[in-house]
Amino acid sequence: MFGVVPKSMWQKLNPADENNMCSWALRSLLIEDGDRLILVDTGMGDKQVAKFFGHYYLHGDDSLDRSLAKNGFSRDDIT
Protein backbone atom coordinates (compact mmCIF):
# COMPACT_ATOMS: atom_id res chain seq x y z
CA MET A 1 0.00 0.00 0.00
CA PHE A 2 2.88 2.36 0.59
CA GLY A 3 4.81 1.67 -2.59
CA VAL A 4 8.55 2.09 -2.16
CA VAL A 5 8.29 3.47 1.40
CA PRO A 6 10.09 1.03 3.73
CA LYS A 7 7.86 -1.00 6.02
CA SER A 8 9.90 0.14 9.03
CA MET A 9 8.52 3.66 8.44
CA TRP A 10 4.80 2.79 8.34
CA GLN A 11 4.33 -0.41 10.33
CA LYS A 12 3.96 1.30 13.73
CA LEU A 13 0.93 3.34 12.63
CA ASN A 14 -0.44 0.76 10.19
CA PRO A 15 0.54 -2.71 11.43
CA ALA A 16 0.30 -5.52 8.90
CA ASP A 17 -1.22 -8.90 9.62
CA GLU A 18 0.41 -12.30 9.10
CA ASN A 19 -0.16 -11.93 5.34
CA ASN A 20 1.54 -8.50 5.35
CA MET A 21 -1.79 -6.78 4.69
CA CYS A 22 -3.21 -3.68 6.41
CA SER A 23 -6.81 -2.76 7.23
CA TRP A 24 -8.19 0.29 5.47
CA ALA A 25 -11.52 2.06 5.36
CA LEU A 26 -12.84 3.56 2.13
CA ARG A 27 -15.88 5.65 2.93
CA SER A 28 -17.83 7.94 0.66
CA LEU A 29 -19.07 11.35 1.71
CA LEU A 30 -22.63 12.38 0.84
CA ILE A 31 -23.32 16.11 1.06
CA GLU A 32 -26.82 17.58 1.02
CA ASP A 33 -26.69 21.27 0.04
CA GLY A 34 -30.11 22.73 -0.60
CA ASP A 35 -31.48 20.93 -3.65
CA ARG A 36 -28.09 19.45 -4.53
CA LEU A 37 -26.79 16.05 -3.51
CA ILE A 38 -23.03 15.69 -3.90
CA LEU A 39 -21.14 12.42 -3.62
CA VAL A 40 -17.41 12.27 -2.92
CA ASP A 41 -16.59 8.65 -3.67
CA THR A 42 -13.42 7.30 -2.08
CA GLY A 43 -14.10 3.65 -2.87
CA MET A 44 -12.18 1.38 -5.20
CA GLY A 45 -15.08 0.00 -7.20
CA ASP A 46 -15.56 -3.56 -8.34
CA LYS A 47 -14.30 -3.52 -11.92
CA GLN A 48 -10.74 -4.68 -11.25
CA VAL A 49 -9.50 -8.17 -12.07
CA ALA A 50 -9.36 -10.89 -9.39
CA LYS A 51 -5.57 -10.49 -9.01
CA PHE A 52 -6.08 -6.87 -7.92
CA PHE A 53 -8.51 -7.90 -5.17
CA GLY A 54 -6.03 -10.54 -4.01
CA HIS A 55 -4.16 -7.66 -2.38
CA TYR A 56 -7.15 -6.59 -0.28
CA TYR A 57 -9.54 -7.97 2.32
CA LEU A 58 -13.03 -6.73 1.58
CA HIS A 59 -15.03 -6.27 4.78
CA GLY A 60 -18.77 -6.86 4.56
CA ASP A 61 -20.98 -6.68 1.53
CA ASP A 62 -21.90 -3.00 1.46
CA SER A 63 -22.03 -1.27 -1.88
CA LEU A 64 -22.56 2.33 -2.89
CA ASP A 65 -26.14 1.59 -3.95
CA ARG A 66 -26.98 -0.17 -0.66
CA SER A 67 -25.44 2.64 1.38
CA LEU A 68 -27.36 5.30 -0.55
CA ALA A 69 -30.59 3.32 -0.14
CA LYS A 70 -30.06 3.11 3.64
CA ASN A 71 -30.20 6.91 3.60
CA GLY A 72 -33.22 7.15 1.32
CA PHE A 73 -31.36 7.96 -1.90
CA SER A 74 -30.36 6.29 -5.16
CA ARG A 75 -27.54 6.98 -7.58
CA ASP A 76 -30.03 8.88 -9.77
CA ASP A 77 -30.47 11.43 -6.96
CA ILE A 78 -26.83 12.54 -7.16
CA THR A 79 -26.67 15.92 -8.87
pLDDT of 58 over the 80 cut? no
pLDDT of 43 over the 80 cut? no
Average of per-residue pLDDT values in the chain: 86
pLDDT of 41 over the 90 cut? no
pLDDT of 21 over the 90 cut? no
33 in a structural domain: yes
Q: 3-state DSSP call for residue 6?
A: coil
Is the pTM above the cut of 0.75?
A: no
The count of structural domains within the chain is 1
Q: Tell which residue, 19, 20, 59, 3, has the closest CA to residue 11.
A: 20
Q: Are 28 and 75 contacting, i.e. CB atoms less than 8 angstroms apart?
A: no
Q: List the domain range (segments joined by +) for residue 40.
A: 25-77
Task: Encode 44-59: b = buried (16+ Cβ within 10 Å), e = exposed.
Answer: eeeeeeeeeeeeeeee
pLDDT of 48 over the 90 cut? no
